[in-house]
Amino acid sequence: MTKGDYIKLINENYENESKEMLLKQVELFFTENNFSKNKYNIGDNVVLKKGTYIHGIPGYLDNFDWIIENGFIGNDFTNRSVANKIKSSIGMWKIKEDILLKDYVNNYSGFTIVYTIGRGPGSKEVSELIPYHKFDEYTEKINDDENIWMYWGDQTKEVRFLPSLVANKRQLAFILNMENALAKELVKLDVWDPSLKEETVKPFIDYRYFEKFLKERLNRNALTTDRETAIMFGLPPSLIEGIFVGRILEKDKDALAYIKSKLPDCYICNLDGKVIIGN
């Protein structure tokens, strides 16, 4: 679709401030964007800088070609029929602090645990992230704490949406460099931003999820999650800096060569956080 097609869709389906914000995003999306990307050689450890964005895709190379040709665009503006709770936006994982990719993968291949301190009306719920293979160690510590009454756990959302150490269903994720001026401007319109008015974000949320969403965005924690973003309309493919792949895709030389042929200026790295094809 062209810029004009997206503008037409927005004018036909949105009103007031929501429409103005989406039209602004489209203008920024199609602005020429040239910037320097981080360079890596084979064997280097990838460093994810604070503010870096990551986006995983399902399957093997499903939607790969579409994304590098068109960008990261909310399903409502494409022919893809997958319905999301947060609409007309693109979901991204935001890096909260500088971290090595290998440590990020290790942390988010784990669990999110919630436990209660105390019992009854005065009890308090706390959520924490447990790294890969640390669940038993952590719960043993909790069981010895007399102030903790009960606990329950869940896989991190990253396990569902990104390559991980515990699941093979996701084999590829894009690493986006967000350090340039255009990227910083685009990410200002994040549906999760609690400063946005309720009436402004309402068109972006499935009505069945709206009330829960309003509560979650004001009280974000390791469970809900505090690292998830939803950028209105989308982000351009020019922001792609690198690719990280799962264990299956890492062994597929033909697939890796294809990825590199499509993104010659980008590096490819694995779940160990090591560059396997440099840029």
Q: What is the pLDDT along the chain (279 residues), one digit of tens a residue?
A: 899 999 999 999 999 999 999 999 999 999 988 788 889 999 999 999 999 999 999 888 988 999 999 999 998 888 665 668 999 999 999 999 999 999 999 999 999 999 999 888 888 888 999 999 998 898 888 888 888 988 888 989 999 999 999 999 999 999 999 999 999 999 999 999 999 999 999 999 999 999 999 999 998 888 888 999 999 999 999 999 999 999 999 999 999 999 999 999 999 999 999 999 999
Using alpha carbons only, what angle is made at residue 247 by residues 164 and 229, rounded to the nearest 5 degrees? 30
CB 158 within 8 A of CB 108: yes
Cα 252 to chain centroid distance, Å, stands at 25
Measured torsion, CA atoms of residues 267, 272, 274, 279, in degrees rounded to the nearest 10 = 0
CB 13 within 8 A of CB 204: no
pTM exceeding the 0.85 threshold for the entire prediction: yes
The whole-number pLDDT of residue 81 equals 58
Q: Sign (positive/negative) of CA torsion 168, 170, 176, 178?
A: negative
Q: Sign (positive/negative) of CA torsion 146, 148, 149, 154?
A: negative
Number of helical H runs and strand E runs in the chain: 11, 14
Using alpha carbons only, what angle is made at residue 245 by residues 241 and 246, rounded to the nearest 5 degrees? 160
CB 25 within 8 A of CB 182: no
The whole-number pLDDT of residue 162 equals 96
- Closest-CA residue to 76 (of 33, 31, 18, 30): 18
Q: What are phi and psi of 259, to 5 degrees?
A: -60, -45
Using alpha carbons only, what angle is made at residue 69 by residues 67 and 74, rounded to the nearest 5 degrees? 40
CB 126 within 8 A of CB 114: yes
Q: For the chain, how big is the Rg over CA atoms in Å?
A: 20
Q: Which ranges in 129-218 belong to alpha helices (H)?
A: 135-143, 157-161, 181-186, 198-201, 210-218
Residue where the block lists tokens 């319905």? 83
The whole-number pLDDT of residue 82 equals 66
CB 48 within 8 A of CB 205: no
Identify the three-state secondary structure at position 31: coil
Is 245 buried (19+), middle (13-18) or exposed (0-12) by CB count in 10 A? buried
The whole-number pLDDT of residue 79 equals 67
- Closest-CA residue to 119 (of 151, 152, 148, 153): 148
Residue type, 155: Q
Q: Sign (positive/negative) of CA torsion 18, 24, 30, 35?
A: negative
Q: What share of residues in the chain are helix, strand, coil (percent, to 5)?
A: 35, 25, 40
